[in-house]
Structure 1
Amino acid sequence: MTNDTLQASREWWSQRWLELLDSYRFKKRLERARNYARQGNVLSIEFKGAKVLAKVQGSEVEPYKLSLSLDAFSDEEWGYVIETMSQKAIFAAKLLAGEMPQNIEEVFTANGLSLFPFTLSDVHGKCSCPDKANPCKHIGAVYYQLGDRFSEDPFVLFQLRGRTKEQIIRDLRQLRGAKAETPTTETSGIPQSKPNTQYSANIQSFWQYHEPLESSLVVIAPSSSETVLDTLGAIPLAKTEESAVNLTSSDVVMKYLGTLYKEVSQKAMLEAMNVGDS
């Protein structure tokens, strides 16, 4: 697999991370770091809080020990970020589904922060090797390995900023779920749900549902490229004389329905995400 093919196969957030390292001007050192990462010289990577601790086998018998970290956000800063995330339905839904929203950076920039480091000087690395350059090839190898970790789990990037996956999901569920709490009554000091005494069906409101949904169980995502029109195939209309652009009646109708389907899908997504309220 070539470098271009490998790069294209990575998720966008992983590519963004690696682009920073690829901007490093010492290309020979980068190539050695890339080879170290590919050849298995990175023996271990583990997290200690927001810091990455690793061992990389170099030319010596004993592997080099190194650490890598970003500036972690404070509890107050993370509080603002989580609050902003919870207000955006699509952000909360994708993160709870283990995905990184495409424009997640908006959440951080809106609070005066940056999820990704701006320059390599924002990445703090220390290595026990004698090389005075930073990043050395050992730190570079771990940097490349972290790019692969990000593709597997985007929450690793958040952990470098001071919050684990479990903490983010817990806080999101608490904020999103607080709005969905139902009122309760108390009997002998024990909270109990209010009984529902309405069992009669109302035909006019049968297809309507006005109760809040548990946000952690709802994932809003756009439809795939294949639509119901693709599944059903062309509509068998009566044959007519072909137009100057070689379109039959069936082609014209299917093209119109395709455009209409996309427009309705977009409006449904906006409605589902409550864009007007966010």
Structure 2
Amino acid sequence: MTTDEYSWIEKRWLSPILEANELRLSVRRGKVIARKGWVRKLSVRPGLITGQVTSDTGASCEVSVRMEAIDETWDAVIERLANEAALAADLLGGRVTERLAFVFEEEGHDLFPFDLRDVKNFCSGHPDDPNCIDAIAVHFDFARLINGHPMTLFEFRGRSQAELVESMRELRQSDDAETNGDGEPAQSSVEGAKALLDGYWERGVVPHLAFRVERTRLSETDALPVVRALGPGPGETPPEEVVRVLAPLMRTARKRMDAIHDRAESDAVEMQEAPDPIAAESLDDLLVAAAHQHGSLTSGFVANALGIDPREARQYLKWLVEEGRLAVVGRARGTKYLPVGAEAPAGDADEA
């Protein structure tokens, strides 16, 4: 497994579990569960993440992740944000940068967990195993969430974006009041970062929104729930009538959006350069590169090349298939593992 597929913020959150050798197998399975969208109802509050993890059998369990919220450090951090223009701009833009994370470290607190002891996991399905597959899946899903919506990380650590902006505004007003009472402030060649706040949130702070696009079909009675909840439309048009008109348009738009998404993914696979085996940093990368180089792999070929049991080689290849890095064709002794997007030979395609 390589960490190159993650952004820096995902790496920082996941590093304790990715670096734990004893969790290697659990990390593989947890990653697959999160990628398949089996983590549902992810909720974030100060110091607490909760989620529901389902399996292919339909069973589900509740997972919670706790980490002590930051309290006293926030005042010092807010003052730093108010006095450094670049940091204030990052906050107002909804970005969490490495520089911003370093400010927390300088003030005596880590924004991210440093090791497994910094977080406390609990899973209703595996109460005796705090680092079970389901708990790890929730960590992967939370990493995905903060990559798209970084301000969620601040909310988990104790302050929302709205609260931070409001605190900076109050600090600015307090400083202005002191300046008016003491005379002219000292001149500075650096523009004050607090000026960035003027008028920025004139229409109020929009709370963070997290979206997950899932290819699920809604029944007619479940379609467009927001439209139904809004009540009658213009001219007292019943909401059911509005839904009846809009639902076909939404279904057509969704089909086109899915088609565009599939085409973009297909084009990305075709444009992807074959990885270089010499540059591989892990066994996973080496196997994927070998599949590109040879066109396909078999468990027997991998077993002979690595000097391991064929069953172990088959397990490695199956993991790569589950993670979406290889595709499989054929059955039994004719099973072959191909690079994703590669066309199977005619004989293999007939067997699959």
The answer to whether the aligner puts 1:161 opposite 2:157 as a matched pair is yes
Give the aligned residue type for 1:42.
V
How much does 1:183 deviate? Answer: 9.1
The Cα of 1:151 is off from its aligned counterpart by: 1.0
Counterpart for residue 215 of structure 1: 196
Per the alignment, residue 44 of structure 1 pairs with: 41
Instruction: State the alpha-carbon separation in 1 of the partners of residues 177 and 64 from structure 2.
Output: 44
Change beyond 3 A, Cα 1:3–1:213: closer
| Alpha-carbon displacement from aligned partner over 1:46-67 (angstroms, at most 9, x marks no partner) | 1244311110013664410111
Distance 2:51 2:157 in 1: 18
| Distance change in 2, residues 1:182/1:73 (3 Å) | closer
Cα offset for 1:78?
1.4
User: 1:180 offset after TM fit, Å?
Assistant: 5.7
Equivalent runs, 1:225-236 vs 2, <5 Å: none
- RMSD, aligned CA: 3.0
> Aligned AA for 1:70?
M
Equivalent pair of 2:46/2:69 in contact (CA under 8 Å): no
Please give the TM-score of this superposition, normalised by the length of structure 2.
Answer: 0.48
Q: How far 1:218 sits from its partner (Å)? A: 9.5
1:17 aligns with 2:6: no
Q: Structure 2: give runs of 5+ residues left out of the alignment.
A: 181-190, 201-352
Change (3 A) 1:23 1:110: same
SS of match in other structure, 1:143: helix
* Structure showing greater relative contact order (alpha-carbon pairs closer than 8 Å, 6 or more residues apart): 1
- The CA distance in 2 between the partners of 1:95 and 1:217, in whole Å, is 14
Alignment of 1:1-278 (within 5 A): 6-7=5-6, 10=7, 12-25=8-21, 26-58=23-55, 61-74=58-71, 76-130=72-126, 132-176=128-172, 178-179=174-175, 214-216=195-197
Deviations 1:137-165 (A, max 9, x none): 11100100111111111111112211112
| Contact 1:66 1:125 (C-alpha < 8 Å) held by counterparts | yes
Q: Are the structure 2 counterparts of residues 116 and 218 from structure 1 closer, same or farther at C-alpha, using a change threshold of 3 Å?
A: farther
CA distance in 2, matches of 1:141, 1:178: 45
User: Where does structure 1 lack aligned partners over 5 or more consecutive residues?
Assistant: 185-209, 220-278
Distance 2:194 2:4 in 1: 41
- Secondary structure class of the residue paired with 2:134: helix
Residues 212 and 116 of structure 1: is their aligned pair in 2 closer, same or farther, counting only changes over 3 Å? closer
Shift of 1:39: 1.1
